[in-house]
Amino acid sequence: MGGSLVSLLPILLMFVIFYFLLIRPNQKRQKAVQQMQASLKKGDKVVTIGGLHGTIEAIEENTVVIRCHNATLTFDRNAIRQTVEQS
- Distance between CA atoms of 58 and 66, rounded to whole angstroms? 7
- Distance between CA atoms of 47 and 56, rounded to whole angstroms? 10
Q: With bands split at pLDDT 50, 70 and 90, how would you rate the model's confidence at 87? A: low
- Distance between CA atoms of 51 and 73, rounded to whole angstroms? 13
- The CA angle 35-36-37, to the nearest 5 degrees, is 90
Contacts 24+ apart (CB under 8 A), 63-71: 64/40
Give residue 86's pLDDT: 67
Q: What is the model's pTM?
A: 0.70
Model confidence over 33-86: pLDDT tens digits?
Answer: 999 999 999 999 999 999 999 999 999 999 999 999 999 999 999 999 999 986
